[in-house]
Amino acid sequence: MRRYFALFTLLFLLGCAYACLVVAPLTTLVMLWLMAAGGAEPLITVSNLFYNFSLILLATGAAFSLPVLLVIPAWLGLVSYEDLRSRWRYVVMGILVVTAAVTPDPTPTSMLLLSAPLLLDYLVALLLVKEMAQA
């Protein structure tokens, strides 16, 4: 169990790093672009920027922890590797729909930047559940 906690921490920190380097700057640029396109003057306060950055950081970190969060129901016997593998199409569609809904960018660029790591996380979760089932 300590191994999974260490993996959870590592994935969460990787998600936070990805949020700092990719998601937050892209979201800020798109937000400023949308304000300028709408004719609004950007009025950004430090507290508003900090709140948005914290929300992006926590959400991306939690999303990157998906593999470990899928291992827990498998460990409890609620889902199996076969269940997760057979429903991969629904997971891919769900990830694409959610990332399309949460990204403010009207182009698919930010959606794909968010969905690619989440899809990779699902593959890691499949490998962890398969390893756990074989052990």
Q: pLDDT tens, 46-59?
A: 898 888 888 889 88
For the whole model, what pTM was predicted? 0.74
For position 105, what pLDDT does the model report? 67
For position 104, what pLDDT does the model report? 66
pLDDT by residue (tens digit) across 37-47? 888 887 778 89
Query: Which residues touch 54 (CB under 8 Å, ≥6 apart)?
Result: none
Closest CA to 27 of 60, 4, 1, 3: 60
pLDDT by residue (tens digit) across 98-122? 888 877 666 787 788 888 888 998 9
**Is the pLDDT at 94 greater than 70, yes or no?**
yes
